[in-house]
Structure 1
Amino acid sequence: MSGTARTGQAEPTGGDTESERSVDQSGSGSPDTQSKEVFPDQDRRFEFCGHVLKITQQLSKFAIPAIVWQSAIILCRYFEKERIMFLGQKVIELGSGTGIVGILAILLGGEVTLTDKPEVLGQIECNVARNMSPSMTPRPKVAALSWGEDEGQFPRNYDIILGSDIVYRPRSFLLLLKTLLHLSDRRTVIYLSNIMSEKMGAVEFYATLLPEHFHCELVYQTPNNEVNIFRLTRKSSTY
């Protein structure tokens, strides 16, 4: 991997609301752990880049997709700290879950498509509606995208691709890679934020699989080295 890790640097700040500081502890671990218990839905508030985000976690319906994972929060804080804007950019988010990252991209001016499995789209649409005024343009899109299967229904020229904690199932890695290759060209910038679990294959994915096709720059690392943010660009325009 190329690039310099910001090891030891303080975690980006500015996204701390009181509710965020009391993050549900179930969201601080691995997204591969699913609970069989049923929990009530939870409303949470976050503040990034001067915007207040209202996010409903539909815990009564989902386990993994209903949680605002720490990697998503850290990616939003990174955008705030680096003053990254998406004005006029064509953006797609993979594995949107609650939609928090894609919603921030909308509020920062992006033309955003939020994607996930079909059963998760209702939660995303609910959160998008909670955070957008009726007059806001352009209107975001919410769409089902199964990696390695129907990415062909989407354009190949996104300016920005976003993903947080989407690398945790080794059996999906080649499907995700195929999807990233389809959606990008050499000018596309990809931001991926991830818990770096060796057990779940994230270390191998970023160290071995991605560098075959992408320039992979580590742009941020939490002080405990648990979460990394990578900035990717294509090595070749052919696929």
Structure 2
Amino acid sequence: MSSILDVNPSFELEEKSYEFSGHHLKISMFKGAYLGVSAFIWEPGLVLCRYFENENIDFIGKKVLELGSGTGIVGILAVLLGGNVTLTDRPYVLKQIEYNVLANVPLTSRHRSNICALAWGDDQNNFSNDFDFILGSDIVYNPTQFQGLLQTLLHLCSEKTTVYMSSNVTAREGSVNFHEHLLPRQFNSELLHTSGSNFIYKLTKKVPRSI
């Protein structure tokens, strides 16, 4: 892990600790590494992790993909809860995710984690659509990305896929429109939980009506 710092010694790691579902997580953020919003731990991700804990959700034996992993906190918890998890983000964010996976996932479980680049609207065809779960926290924040995000979700989801999406609906531009108008055109959407302005939705792909 020291080699990551050697590549760019000018940036620093800021570490925060969390406890979810009996797992102690130490999540590092690459401050000063030009990762933008990806270098932060956002509240919707913590709310989603706490929801998994409170609802005793596990992913044992399930194939899981996380969109916009950022620091990787949600995807890492999914690995620790038994899932076979693919954590995705833009290429320049992957070193941060890798660092946190190595720091938090035991060697005996690391084979159940995979880290890949996925730019919404561009790279989705490199992935299958046989995921049991897709996770996304605070990924609805920029209306210019909504079309690509929808294209990606439509490709990755089969009718058997469950999507857990946690969004700050009041603080993120266009979030209300995305969840109330754009998503319901092609997904069944159920509001599962609220914590302040953070809403967790459960999505499933609508089955086309037979003629």
Task: Confirm or deny a common fold (TM above 0.5).
Answer: yes
Q: Report 1:78-157 matches (<5 A).
A: 78-136=51-109, 138-157=111-130
- 2:148 is aligned to 175
Matched length: 199
- 1:14 is aligned to none
Structure richer in strand, relative to its length: 2
Q: In structure 2, do the counterparts of structure 1 residues 217 and 127 end up closer, same or farther at CA, with 3 Å as the change threshold?
A: same
CA deviation profile, 1:60-87 (whole Å, cap 9, x unmatched): 2133101010000000000000001000
Q: In structure 2, do the counterparts of structure 1 residues 50 and 176 end up closer, same or farther at CA, with 3 Å as the change threshold?
A: same
- 2:137 is aligned to 164
Shift, 1:150, TM fit: 1.1
CA deviation profile, 1:93-118 (whole Å, cap 9, x unmatched): 00000000000000000000000000
- 1:59 is aligned to 31
TM-score (norm 2): 0.90
Shift, 1:137, TM fit: 5.3
Q: Which moved more, 1:78-87 or 1:53-62?
A: 53-62
- One-letter amino acid matched to 1:94: L
Shift, 1:134, TM fit: 1.7
Say if 2:202 is the partner of 1:231.
yes
Q: Which moved more, 1:148-157 or 1:193-202?
A: 193-202
2:19 to 47, 55, 69: 47
- 1:208 is aligned to 181
Do the aligned residues in 2 keep the contact of 1:43 with 1:57 (CA within 8 Å)?
A: yes
SS in 1 for 2:24: strand
Unaligned runs of 5+ in 2: 1-9
TM-score (norm 1): 0.80
Do the aligned residues in 2 keep the contact of 1:147 with 1:175 (CA within 8 Å)?
A: yes
Say if 2:45 is the partner of 1:72.
yes
Structure richer in helix, relative to its length: 2
CA deviation profile, 1:176-212 (whole Å, cap 9, x unmatched): 0010010011110000001003760000000000000
Do the aligned residues in 2 keep the contact of 1:117 with 1:145 (CA within 8 Å)?
A: yes
Unaligned runs of 5+ in 1: 1-37
Across the aligned residues of Structure 1 and Structure 2, the Cα RMSD in angstroms comes to 1.6
**Take 2:178 and 2:190, find their aligned partners in 1: how far apart are those partners?**
14
CA deviation profile, 1:132-165 (whole Å, cap 9, x unmatched): 2222254311000011111000011110000000
SS in 2 for 1:41: strand
Do the aligned residues in 2 keep the contact of 1:198 with 1:204 (CA within 8 Å)?
A: no
Q: Which 4+ stretches in 1 moved above 3 angstroms?
A: none
**Take 1:121 and 1:237, find their aligned partners in 2: how far apart are those partners?**
36
Do the aligned residues in 1 keep the contact of 2:69 with 2:89 (CA within 8 Å)?
A: yes
